Amino acid sequence: MDSKQKYLEESNRVLVLKKALSQLGLMPHAEAKQVVEQFERITNVLKKNTPLGTFIYDSNNKPKYLEIDIYREKIGEYVVNDIIVIDSDTYLDHLLEKNILNTSDELAREVR
């Protein structure tokens, strides 16, 4: 059981690289928290470096659209390269292409 738990801990991570971390640092705390919570719940099965669309809510409860440049290192492990604010048309393009950040209701990953 200990080895299974260790595997789960080691294989369910999201690594946020410096550029994306800088973008998170520029966001208001409540917005950055929403982004990190999405990373903790990501369920996408990615085969390559894929920009994914998502949205959060700003302090006025209006949607703020984002593009997350992310890839899967190996099963269960993701790497976030960048976070970019996009307009609603670009978000809709992601939606039509089915390149949306999918999340579960439960925490699934550790963000580092």
Token couple for 40:
């903790």
Domain boundaries, the chain: 2-111
Instruction: Report the relative pairing of strands 63-74 and 77-86 from DSSP bridges.
Output: antiparallel
Distance of CA 93 to the CA centre of its chain: 18
Mean pLDDT in residue range 4-24: 75
Is the pLDDT at 22 greater than 50, yes or no?
yes
Determine whether 59 is exposed, middle or buried from the number of CB atoms within 10 Å of its CB (0-12, 13-18, 19+): exposed
> Looking at the domain that runs over 2-111, which CATH code has it been given?
3.30.2310
67-77 burial, b if ≥16 CB within 10 A, otherwise e?
Answer: bbbbebeeeee
Mean pLDDT in residue range 60-78: 90
pLDDT of residue 67: 98
Q: Which of 3-12, 26-35, 41-50 is most confident?
A: 26-35
